[in-house]
Amino acid sequence: MHSAVAQAIDAVVLIDETNAVTYFNDSAEQLWGYRRDEVLGKNVSMLVPEAHRHNHDALIDANRTTGINKIVGTSREVTIPRKDGSTVPASLALSKMKVRGSWQYAAFIRDMSKEIATRNDILDRAGQSVDLVVVDCEKVAALSTQISEGAARQASSAQQATAAMEEITASLRNCATNAATTERIATGCSRDAQRAGDSVSRAVQAMAEIADKIRIVQEISRQTDLLALNAAIEAARAGVHGKGFAVVASEVRKLAERSQAAALEISRLSSETRAASQEAGQEIAALVPEIAKTADLVREISAATREQQVGGEQVNQAIRDLDRVIQNSAATAHSASQTSASLKSRSTDLSALIGAMRSGKL
């Protein structure tokens, strides 16, 4: 057994039934700083912390007599007092064995300095990381709050813009309807003006034909007047027998004169009407292209208004989509803020846990 444990990494200490040290290996010498000859045959209490030396033997003897193993068979962390007055953290595993009818004990102690230093270093780095996480969580929470507030303001602005855009879209829709109606009216006016011009042209042509007919009537009236004059002369030559014919000739002449006067008046009125019709025709002819141009412009305005209506509806839809995105962003920012607060709380708990592990309370 001595050969097996002499070169063991762990310190091995054996005590007999009187609690005297019977074995102290090389690792034990390194751990406590005592030479083997300084320890062998001495009470094992010299190797325990001073605070536990006064009752150490009593505890071991109680275990021998009662058999209640509170420490035996378990592993626990202890503090090793070195010869030079320093202390070393260690892990103690205690076992007992019956030798020649009496209980003796074997202690296996492992120096935990490096492990604890490594653990503390890891805990320090973890603590630093946790502290950085807490700071980052606070920054994220602050940024999330700012984003949430900004998103809320943007959402309010987007809602106002949506309402305004809906009004604009409705106005554009009415304008498009009115433009379409105006387009139909302008197109109808253009056709009516064209027909009116054609009618005036036909009226002018008819007036020219009437004037020609009136000249024929005037010629007939003049010839009738001449015939009536000749008839009156012939009636005068006939004497008594031509009186009745003279009266008829006189009435025919009067009728011819009135016809000629009426024809002259009609000719004058026809000429004036023809001139007025020609002037009206010229004005209508000059107006028709303008009306047609106006109709074309109205059609262009109507088409542009329809495009504006479509564009307004697309912009309105885009603003509604943006509003939904902003609402989602606000909800996401609020959720991120809650998550940051939760992560900060967890980081605080982890920091406390690391502190407890560093202090050895866990």
Q: What is the CATH number of the domain that holds 46?
A: 3.30.450.20
This prediction's pTM: 0.44
CATH number where 226 lies: 1.10.287.950
Contact at 8 Å (CB) between 309 and 174? no
Range 229-257 average pLDDT? 77
- Looking at the structure, do residues 151 and 286 belong to the same domain, yes or no? yes
- Looking at the structure, do residues 219 and 342 belong to the same domain, yes or no? yes
Looking at the domain assignment, is residue 125 inside a domain?
Answer: no
C-alpha distance from residue 146 to each of 58, 169, 336 (Å): 67, 33, 11
Confidence of residue 176 (pLDDT cuts 50, 70, 90): confident
Looking at the domain assignment, is residue 195 inside a domain?
Answer: yes
Render pLDDT for 56-82 as a digit per residue (tens, 0 to 9).
Answer: 999 888 888 887 777 788 888 999 999
Say which DSSP state 282 is in: H
Looking at the domain assignment, is residue 257 inside a domain?
Answer: yes
- Looking at the structure, do residues 240 and 337 belong to the same domain, yes or no? yes
Confidence of residue 154 (pLDDT cuts 50, 70, 90): confident
- Looking at the structure, do residues 187 and 330 belong to the same domain, yes or no? yes
Which of 111, 127, 153 is the endpoint of a domain?
111
- Looking at the structure, do residues 33 and 88 belong to the same domain, yes or no? yes
- Looking at the structure, do residues 337 and 224 belong to the same domain, yes or no? yes
Looking at the domain assignment, is residue 210 inside a domain?
Answer: yes
- Looking at the structure, do residues 299 and 250 belong to the same domain, yes or no? yes
Number of domains in the chain: 2
Q: DSSP of 169-182, one letter per residue?
A: HHHHHHHHHHHHHH
- Looking at the structure, do residues 184 and 314 belong to the same domain, yes or no? yes
Confidence of residue 49 (pLDDT cuts 50, 70, 90): very high
- Looking at the structure, do residues 309 and 189 belong to the same domain, yes or no? yes
Domain of 300, in residue numbers: 141-356
Q: Is the pLDDT of residue 334 over 70?
A: yes
- Looking at the structure, do residues 100 and 220 belong to the same domain, yes or no? no
Residue 73, by phi and psi: left (phi above 0), alpha (psi -120 to 50) or beta? Answer: left
